[in-house]
C-alpha cells in the first residue's frame, strides 16, 4: 500500500499544480503545493477499488468500491464510502479460547469525517477518522450492522504517520544524477483545498565518479 507522503507528491506532479515560493526571506527555500478537493477526489477514484488490510484477526477480503461527496474543511476531510466485503470472518481470542464470527459478504455505505494535525517538529501526521453515519445499501442485515459496529470501534482513534523520510526523486540532468529530497514543514487544509508546505533539497552527482562493479 502506498504511503501517504508518496501519494501527496504524486498528486502534485500528476496534476501539474504550480509551486509557489514564499516571499519572506526566512522562507525563500520553502514551496507550496495546493491541492483542490475535486482533483484529490479524482485521483483517489482512479485508485479504486482499493483493498483494505484488515489485520491478522480477519479473514476474507474487504475493499473500498467507491468514494463520493469528498470535501475539505479546516484541517478535516469528509467523504462517503461504499465498502464491500467477501467471506469476512473475525477471530477473537477470549482467554484461551478462540471465537470466530462469520460476516460473509457485506455491502456498506458509510459517512466519515477525518480530522488531522501535523507535528512540524516530529514530522508526524496524526489522523483521527470519525464514523458519522452507517447505512447499508439495502435493508441492513444483523451481520452488516455488526460490521459497522466494528468500524465504529476503529473510529475516533488517532493514527500516526511518519513523514520524516520522504522517498526522493532521482533523474539525469546535464550528464549528472540529480536527487531531490523533500522535507515537509507544514500541512493544513481549508476551503476545499489541501496545502502542503515543503522544502526541496537537491543533490548532484557526477556520473563519471560512480564506479560500477563488474565482478561476477
Which CATH number covers residue 123? 3.15.10
Instruction: Please give the mean pLDDT across all residues of the chain.
Output: 78
Mean pLDDT across 39-56: 88
102 located within any domain: yes
Who has greater pLDDT, 130 or 211? 130
pLDDT for 5 beyond 80: no
pLDDT for 211 beyond 60: no
**Looking at residue 138, what is its pLDDT?**
55
203 located within any domain: yes
Judge whether 189 and 75 are in contact, CB under 8 Å. yes
**Looking at residue 162, what is its pLDDT?**
87
Who has greater pLDDT, 55 or 70? 70
Mean pLDDT across 86-92: 87
171 located within any domain: yes
Domain count, the chain: 1
Who has greater pLDDT, 201 or 111? 111
Shortest CA distance to 71 belongs to which of 159, 156, 191, 195? 191
114 located within any domain: yes
CB atoms within 10 A of CB 44: 17
pLDDT for 28 beyond 80: no
pLDDT level of residue 17 (50, 70, 90 thresholds): very low
Mean pLDDT across 190-196: 94
What is the spatial distance between Cα 86 and Cα 90, in angstroms, rounded to a whole number? 12
115 located within any domain: yes
pLDDT level of residue 8 (50, 70, 90 thresholds): low
pLDDT, tens digit (0-9, with 9 covering 90-100), for 109-119: 889 999 999 99
Cell 514551496, residue located: 31
Who has greater pLDDT, 79 or 148? 79
Shortest CA distance to 78 belongs to which of 35, 131, 34, 121? 131
Domain that holds residue 186: 4-209
pLDDT for 30 beyond 60: yes
pTM > 0.75: yes or no:
no
Per-residue burial over 133-159, b if 16 or more Cβ lie within 10 Å, else e, is: ebebeeebeebbeebbeebeeebeeee
Q: Which helix (H) or strand (E) holds 162?
A: strand 159-162
What is the spatial distance between Cα 88 and Cα 62, in angstroms, rounded to a whole number? 7
158 located within any domain: yes
Amino acid at each position: 500500500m502506498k504511503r501517504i507522503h508518496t501519494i501527496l507528491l504524486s498528486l502534485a506532479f500528476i496534476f501539474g499544480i504550480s509551486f509557489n515560493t514564499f516571499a519572506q526571506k526566512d522562507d525563500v527555500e520553502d514551496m507550496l503545493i495546493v491541492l483542490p478537493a475535486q482533483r484529490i477526489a479524482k485521483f483517489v477514484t482512479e485508485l479504486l477499488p482499493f483493498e483494505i488490510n484488515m489485520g491478522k484477526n480477519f479473514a476474507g477480503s474487504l475493499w473500498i468500491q467507491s468514494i463520493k461527496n469528498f470535501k475539505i474543511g479546516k484541517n478535516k476531510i469528509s467523504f462517503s464510502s461504499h465498502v464491500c466485503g467477501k467471506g469476512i470472518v473475525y477471530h477473537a481470542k477470549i482467554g484461551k479460547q478462540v471465537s470466530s464470527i462469520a460476516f460473509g459478504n457485506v455491502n456498506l455505505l458509510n459517512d466519515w469525517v477525518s480530522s488531522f494535525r501535523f507535528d512540524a517538529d516530529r514530522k508526524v501526521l496524526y489522523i483521527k477518522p470519525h464514523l458519522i453515519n452507517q447505512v447499508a445499501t439495502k435493508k441492513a442485515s444483523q451481520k452488516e450492522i455488526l460490521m459497522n459496529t466494528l468500524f465504529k470501534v476503529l473510529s475516533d482513534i488517532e493514527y500516526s504517520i511518519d513523514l520524516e523520510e520522504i522517498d526522493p526523486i532521482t533523474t539525469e540532468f546535464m550528464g549528472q544524477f540529480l536527487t531531490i529530497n523533500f522535507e515537509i514543514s507544514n500541512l493544513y487544509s481549508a476551503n476545499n483545498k489541501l496545502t502542503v508546505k515543503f522544502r526541496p533539497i537537491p543533490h548532484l552527482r557526477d556520473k563519471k565518479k560512480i564506479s560500477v562493479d563488474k565482478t561476477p
